Amino acid sequence: MRVEEPVWNEWRRPGPTRAQRRRDIGIAVLVLVCAFEATVLVNSMGAFTFGRAPELNEQLAWMLPLAVPLVVRRRYPVAVLLVVSALFIAAQWQQVGDNLVPSGILFLAIFTVGAWEQNRVLARWSRIGVIVAMFLWLGFALVKALLGPVGEFEKAAGPMDPVLASVLYGLEFNIFFFVFAYVAGEMAWTAARRQAQLEFKAEELRRSQEQNTRGAIAAERMRIARDLHDVVAHHVSVMGIQAGAARRVLDSDPETTRDALQTVEQTARTAINELRGLLGVLRADAEPDLRANPGLDDLPELLDNARAAGLKVEHGVYGDPREVSPAVALSAYRVVQEALTNVVKHADAQRVDVRMRFLDSALELEISDDGRGRKATAGSGFGLVGMRERLAVHGGSLEAGPRRDAGYLVRASLPTEENA
């Protein structure tokens, strides 16, 4: 089933996972510890941001409500931003000694809204509103400072007026601070959306590959069903002829009748063995293939076709050759055919070695080449899927993969024992 692709411009980031929520708790605790430490250090040095500060306990008390909202920053980003912004201005109004950690908390709150708020309109305007409010507060603080006594700039040595330089420095620093927080949040949101797109495409590709593989398996099973249908039909026809002959001479020639019934029995057993391979391979509307099914005797012609394609083909038969069932012979032929086709289409090979071994209870095929795969013509892998399906019908096995030095190796094993 095809899943409709989301409209990515309207994508909404899923809420934080349980692990991310636990991480937010850890971040809030860490920030709180840093705030306490920075406040103690600033008070110990007497290096207050605003020149003076309330009691240490009051300063520490301000750090607690500033850091605690970070626990739910990804679940309620806009609410956390508003709370932190209000507390940030209130803490500066009280002239707490340290401004570094509170500024970091504000930065994290602005960033989180950009990265996690699902309503993008609300995310944009809430950040803009907070930034505007912060600049209004900054302007108020600057005007208040300018209207008061002018501070002493004992070490001033630059070409600019020290008061003007101080104002410009404060403005430029805050512009950089807020713009960076805004842009970083947008980048995090965009990265999350791109990751969601990649995951969707990967899942879509996986489903497509599964569907194509199922189609290839179904097509190969249908082909197997057609091939075995002809093989079994042959046996049934022989049984019918022999049974008819036995019926005609049943009373007059018992010896001939016995031979005919023995033939029927042997043929029936062979047909049953081959019918077992059809379990699960059902295709009622399969088109009949009327041409003769190839077998082991047709392999020389197959090898000649490969030679005509420019390959040097060597063929060896090992063990004592013997008759195998038509179904096994057909599957062996198909395996060699598919392997040679892959060599011609997908490998820069010069030489192919085809070996056939007659073991005690199995027929083993080995096709190896000396080529290297062409990247531009890499196969889909469905040929290997088809071979495995074909061999599975008979309870056989397939090994396929690159050789150590160069080339590719296909090894197939087909059981040949007759089941009584």
Same domain, 265 and 327: no
Domain count of the fold of the chain: 3
Which residues, including other chains, have CB under 8 Å from residue 59's CB and lie 6 or more apart?
Answer: 39, 43, 53, 96, 97, 98
Residue 207: inside a domain: no
Same domain, 330 and 385: yes
Distance CA 189, CA 411 (A): 51
Residue 389: inside a domain: yes
Tokens representing 84 are 């932190």
Same domain, 335 and 263: no
Decide if 38 contacts 102 (C-beta within 8 A): no
Closest CA to 199 of 10, 19, 1, 13: 13
Residue 120: inside a domain: yes
Same domain, 229 and 304: no
Same domain, 382 and 311: yes
Residue 95: inside a domain: yes
End-to-end CA distance of the chain: 44
Which residues, including other chains, have CB under 8 Å from residue 89's CB and lie 6 or more apart?
Answer: 133, 134, 137
What is the 3 state secondary structure string of 23-69? HHHHHHHHHHHHHHHHHHHHHHHCCCCCCCCCCHHHHHHHHHHHHHH
The CATH number of residue 305's host domain is 3.30.565.10
Same domain, 374 and 327: yes
Residue 284 is predicted with a pLDDT of 37
Same domain, 220 and 305: no
Domain that holds residue 223: 214-278
Residue 232 is predicted with a pLDDT of 64
Same domain, 45 and 124: yes
Same domain, 138 and 21: yes
Residue 248: inside a domain: yes
Tokens representing 163 are 């008061």
Residue 169: inside a domain: no
Same domain, 118 and 235: no
The CATH number of residue 225's host domain is 1.20.5.1930
> Consecutive 10-residue runs of the chain (420 residues): their mean pLDDT?
71 88 94 92 82 85 92 93 93 86 92 91 93 89 70 67 75 89 92 89 84 76 66 63 75 78 72 56 43 77 79 90 85 87 78 91 90 54 71 84 85 74
Residue 285: inside a domain: no
Q: Supply the pTM of this predicted model.
A: 0.55
Distance CA 314, CA 320 (A): 19
Residue 341: inside a domain: yes
Question: How many CA atoms are closer than 13 Å to the CA of 130, on its beta-carbon side?
Answer: 30
Closest CA to 220 of 75, 389, 420, 25: 389
Which residues, including other chains, have CB under 8 Å from residue 63's CB and lie 6 or more apart?
Answer: 32, 35, 36, 39, 96, 101, 102
Which residues, including other chains, have CB under 8 Å from residue 48's CB and lie 6 or more apart?
Answer: 42, 95, 97
Distance CA 329, CA 331 (A): 6
Q: Looking at 115, 149, 183, which one is the last position of a domain?
A: 149
Distance CA 196, CA 11 (A): 9
Same domain, 30 and 137: yes
Same domain, 22 and 133: yes
